[in-house]
A and B are shown apart, each in its own frame.
Chain A
Amino acid sequence: EVQLVESGGGLVQPGRSLKLSCAASGFTFSNYYMAWVRQAPKKGLEWVATISTSGSRTYYPDSVKGRFTISRDNAKSSLYLQMNSLKSEDTATYYCARTTEGTVDYWGQGVMVTVSS
């Protein structure tokens, strides 16, 4: 059974940093592109970052480019999201996501990040 378990969320002040982690199991982690998708309170879904199987290629939307960094450790079947210079508009539930065939086929349970002073 595919499982994606996020951790590392919490309350952080504007301008500070936070690192999210995602522990994957139930599949060969190194075979899949992975992504982070977020959802602001009572809002829709927003793609945040994607990383290739080896980690050599990363992709971001303009809203987080230069502030967020996605990375992975295939030996540990783990995905990470380093978030710097956080803003109030980054407040959201962050989902770890497995991607394949142009879709997100599995989602984690999500972790809440609140950016507030």
Chain B
Amino acid sequence: DVVMTQTPVSMSVSLGGQVSISCRSSQSLVHNNGNTYLSWYIQKPSQSPQLLIYKVSNRFSGISDRFSGSGSGTDFTLKISRVEPDDLGVYYCGQGTQYHTFGAGTKLELK
């Protein structure tokens, strides 16, 4: 099974600031077809998760360019710039290269 490890577990940020969340997989997420199926999701309080980024760096429909994803192989990063109140919640990375597994989440709070 592919294990996804996210760091940090939680972080606090000031509005307008920038944050980075790291995600590491226990094995390469490069699929046989050459694609890397690494996604980022946000779960706001009392809501379902929502897709932010797919295939490492592709923003989902309607997602602000303040969100950016990068990485390759086993190491990936989500960056959020100019943090807004609506960005607060728990962020999950997830892989879809070998079925699906998710990281444990990173809680983003206001400083």
Q: Is B72 an interface residue (CB 8 A)?
A: no
B48:A104 contact, CB within 8 angstroms:
no
A-B contact count (CB 8 A): 65
CB distance from A100 to the nearest CB of B (A): 9
Number of chain B interface residues as a range: 20 to 34
Q: Is A11 an interface residue (CB 8 A)?
A: no
B102:A109 contact, CB within 8 angstroms:
no
CB distance from A110 to the nearest CB of B (A): 6
Partner of B49, one of A47, A50, A59, A107: A107
CB distance from B38 to the nearest CB of A (A): 8
What is the predominant secondary structure among interface residues of chain A facing chain B? Answer: strand
A104:B103 contact, CB within 8 angstroms:
no
Write the residues of chain A forming the contact surface with B, with a CB cutoff of 8 angstroms.
35, 37, 44-47, 50, 59, 61, 95, 99, 101-110
Write the residues of chain B forming the contact surface with A, with a CB cutoff of 8 angstroms.
1, 31, 35, 37, 39, 41, 48-51, 54-55, 60, 92, 94-97, 99-105
13 example contacts (A-B, Cβ-Cβ < 8 A) are as follows A45-B41, A46-B102, A61-B99, A95-B49, A101-B35, A102-B31, A102-B97, A103-B37, A104-B51, A105-B60, A106-B51, A107-B50, A108-B48
